Structure 1
Amino acid sequence: MLLAVVGLNWGDEGKGRMVDNLSADADYVVRYHGGSNAGHTIHTDQGKFKLHSLPSSVMRPEVTSILGPGMTVDIEGLLAELDALAEHGVDPERLLVSHQASVCFPFHRDLDAAEEERLSHGQYGSTRKGISPAYGDRVMKKTLLVGELFDKESLPARLASVVDWANERIEKIYGGTPLLLADVEQWAAEVRERLEPHVVDVTRLLTEALAQDATVLAEGQLGALRDLYFGIYPFTTSSNCLAGHAPVGMGIPWAKVDRTVGVTKAFSSCVGAGPFVTEFDEERADRLRRQWGEYGSTTNRPRRLGAFDAVATRYGARMQGADAIAITNLDQLTGTGELQVCSGYERDGRPVAEFTTSPAELARMKPVYETFAGWDEDISGARRYDELPRATRAYVEGIQRLLGVPVRYVSVGSHRDALIEIETETGTETETGTEGN
């Protein structure tokens, strides 16, 4: 079985906690795109962990966690994450890296930052983790694949070509100091030794696993609105965030996704630039941001906040092919008063029902809201859907009606056991994720 867990919005939806929970029933979890610009926060009995390159299943030692060929691997960052986990007594010995994934070099981060500075007020809101130039180099056939680090005969010539191309941009476009080939060769030698035990042929491994009826979970990064092709371009990431791309990015392009869980917050949040139709005014956003701790997991940048946007989320659910919805951070809405949900847009006083990915068009849209009663009761201790206040359930069911996809999960807290699974077929609810590691 192939399951995908993906974001429906701009990212930061809480996918990490969903992957951590659902991976309890998985044999393999595979990151299929992106790189160290991911920011997944996991809460377990061992503490709170912020992951970037690592799949969100690494806290489960029985699960094999994989960085797929669709990723660009920040090797330095990956090794640093492994060291940080080791300090907490966690040894992700079953972590594997595809030999076909791209290498994200340290200079890619420098190029990323230099381009954002060059853009000045026209910045895209990059995390400056090197993702865009690293993916660009893959498309230009100017970077290295992970497996090439271990071909010592061909590596010197390949690295020379990579460094030469990097220096063309560093010197001529950004006026920086050129790289020294010897320094890059030394870097490659240092990281190669530590990385080698983890590098495998992922396609062969997963082909055999699926033939034996293993459960494989594809972990998405960011969300549908940041997808390179179907997001709000150019305010997107540089990879394909959609579940439809998961088999390709995992290395099993012939496979079919059997089930897709689309994750969204109970409100809207966004890190980075671009149009945001339901955005709160800065005073309200700042107050809620401080109250909720809404800062980016990777950059610690303040998240932009707004009312739940059912128009954008419905588009995200359709593009992801979601057959189940997970609503996270529901507990954060407690005590905030009446709640508004954007059910449609208006442009020049005329209704607009469908989402557009054109930034210029989105900038002209005005939200049309439905208002729901809020609640003051603490819901963080609820473990069954029927334990939630009536107003909370009405809010969840209103979102479900507007999205047209069953809400299967609601999160009422950060820990593993604070996730309620709703058995929509029977109308009964079950508690999930209560086991610890």
Structure 2
Amino acid sequence: MPAIVLVGTQWGDEGKGKATDLLGSRIDHVVKFNGGNNAGHTVVIGDQKYALHLLPSGILSPGVTPVIANGVVIDLSVLIDELDGLEARGVDTSLLRVSANAHVIPPYNRVLDKVTERFLGKRRIGTTGRGIGPTYADKMNRVGIRVQDLYDESILRQKVEAALGFKNQLLLKIYNRRDIEVEEVMGELLRHAERIRPMVTDTALELNEALDRGETVLFEAGQATLLDVDHGTYPFVTSSNATAGGACTGAGVPPTRIDRVIGVFKAYTTRVGEGPFPTELEDEAGELLREVGAEFGTTTGRPRRCGWADVVIGRYATRVNGLTDVVLTKLDVLTGLDKLPVCVAYDVQGERFDEMPVNQSDFHHARPIYEELDGWTEDISGCRRFEELPEAAQNYVLHLEKWTGARISVIGVGPGRDEVIVRHDLLGSDDVH
């Protein structure tokens, strides 16, 4: 049975939760390997909508073991709130596993995240202010706090005191903020330690043993390719590796175990936060996509910036991640539009780029070169076979497939769990449905 990596191919919010849910009962473990509660998955099951921020969306599938791996940074209060919220709705969360090596977001990093963004003004990155970046910085600076530290109060106190010795200087002398007390931090970090203790384990060992037993493991990326700290539109990126390679370091599973890489591509493009966005629409068309597609952040509620599909970044994501399959989401949102422009290349000060410019400045100045496809007016939400789609919708899908170079195996035609067209089995069969 395979080990599968699931990644976003744009700037996030492509619908990875739905893709994970689609595999549902056919997988044994769902692993979150990067990020924290700075992103969210929305999963619709029947008339119930679930907004997940820190937990892997596989927690909604009975019998699936959800795993928060070592590459994730954890806000303990958010984790407990999510668990309590799901349990109140009758969801069993008892199978959750949490890596002892995952880093914890201390309260001082949330404070620093927010004040730094305000201090940067027009040069801000557009973070969610949840302490993600500062916690990853602590990790790289080797002053971070890990889940396992919660169970040795002496070590925990030493680490908190060492961190505050520096961070309080920043708060006081640079940002003119009050200092943070050691006991305040200790109290927050220890408040939930016993609650999560039964979940804490060596997740890397457990996942490798699961693969040895022939079980299916899905590695679910937070954020998306263009937000990857190495391969995204730096510096307007997240602080972790959201591409397929991040699954190996973020979960402790070697690359030789990975069988398939599934990319999730929205039928148009959205972005939250700051940074260049070549196909962005600041007109009625952009507002229409936002309203019809309900493009508001799962975590922040911020309206998402909307634009036409961009196959330049699609080709880039296909190459960087080694995609074997694509799940195309929200095709139904485009219903009713007469023409559908698709960005096939960029114009950068008179020079054509068919691939992503490596230079940050070039990408900032990129202007889309469009090819226009016909739209359709028919309601496609009831379609369950590719041949049932209007000819124009089929043509749109086939052109995206050709231009990105990645096989589109699943097409989302509505928000519901069953509102999909399956062309190819995501677990490896070539059967067309």
TM bucket by the smaller chain?
over 0.9
Quick one: distance in 1 between partners of 2:108 and 2:157?
17
Q: Could you list the per-position Cα deviations for residues 98-143 of structure 1 after superposition, in whole angstroms to 9, with x for gaps in the alignment?
A: 0000001222221111111001111111111111001001111122
Q: Could you list the per-position Cα deviations for residues 4-31 of structure 1 after superposition, in whole angstroms to 9, with x for gaps in the alignment?
A: 1101111111111101212321111110
| Structure 2 residue aligned with 1:179 | 180
List alignment gaps of at least 5 residues for structure 1. Answer: 431-437
CA contact (8 A) 2:11 2:227 kept: yes
Number of positions where the alignment pairs a residue of Structure 1 with one of Structure 2: 430
| Structure 2 residue aligned with 1:92 | 93
Deviation at 1:426, TM superposition (A): 9.5
TM-score by length of 2: 0.96
Q: Provide the identity percentage.
A: 38
In structure 2, what residue type is equivalent to 1:28?
Answer: H
Deviation at 1:255, TM superposition (A): 4.4
SS in 1 for 2:43: strand
CA contact (8 A) 2:281 2:308 kept: yes
Quick one: distance in 1 between partners of 2:36 and 2:424?
34
| Structure 2 residue aligned with 1:239 | 240
Q: 1:62 to 1:427 in 2, by over 3 A?
A: closer
- Map of 1:101-120 to 2, 5 A cutoff? 101-120=102-121
Deviation at 1:429, TM superposition (A): 3.6
Quick one: distance in 2 between partners of 1:66 and 1:160?
30
Q: Could you list the per-position Cα deviations for residues 283-337 of structure 1 after superposition, in whole angstroms to 9, with x for gaps in the alignment?
A: 4322331232111111111111111001111101111110111110000000022
Deviates further, 314-323 or 20-29: 20-29
Quick one: distance in 2 between partners of 1:61 and 1:92?
9
Deviation at 1:427, TM superposition (A): 8.4
- Map of 1:245-324 to 2, 5 A cutoff? 245-253=246-254, 255-324=256-325
| Structure 2 residue aligned with 1:130 | 131
Deviation at 1:281, TM superposition (A): 2.3
| Structure 1 residue aligned with 2:408 | 407
| Structure 2 residue aligned with 1:190 | 191
In structure 2, what residue type is equivalent to 1:363?
Answer: H
In structure 2, what residue type is equivalent to 1:102?
Answer: H
CA contact (8 A) 2:308 2:343 kept: yes
Q: 1:281 to 1:254 in 2, by over 3 A?
A: closer
- Map of 1:16-27 to 2, 5 A cutoff? 16-27=17-28
CA contact (8 A) 1:37 1:129 kept: yes
Quick one: distance in 1 between partners of 2:303 and 2:157?
42
CA contact (8 A) 1:264 1:327 kept: yes
SS in 1 for 2:159: helix
CA contact (8 A) 1:28 1:65 kept: yes
CA contact (8 A) 2:76 2:189 kept: no
Structure 2 residue 229 is the aligned partner of structure 1 residue 218: no
Quick one: distance in 1 between partners of 2:348 and 2:208?
49
Quick one: distance in 1 between partners of 2:215 and 2:139?
31
- Map of 1:330-369 to 2, 5 A cutoff? 330-369=331-370
Quick one: distance in 1 between partners of 2:157 and 2:123?
38
CA contact (8 A) 1:99 1:146 kept: yes
Q: Could you list the per-position Cα deviations for residues 56-108 of structure 1 after superposition, in whole angstroms to 9, with x for gaps in the alignment?
A: 11111200000000111111111111111122111211111100000012222
Quick one: distance in 1 between partners of 2:126 and 2:159?
32
Deviation at 1:265, TM superposition (A): 0.3
| Structure 2 residue aligned with 1:147 | 148
Deviation at 1:254, TM superposition (A): 5.7
| Structure 1 residue aligned with 2:231 | 230
CA contact (8 A) 2:289 2:333 kept: no
Deviation at 1:363, TM superposition (A): 2.5
CA contact (8 A) 1:385 1:429 kept: no
RMSD of the alignment, in Å? Answer: 1.7
In structure 2, what residue type is equivalent to 1:241?
Answer: A
Quick one: distance in 2 between partners of 1:155 and 1:291?
48
Deviation at 1:153, TM superposition (A): 4.0
CA contact (8 A) 2:125 2:235 kept: yes
Quick one: distance in 1 between partners of 2:278 and 2:174?
35
| Structure 1 residue aligned with 2:208 | 207
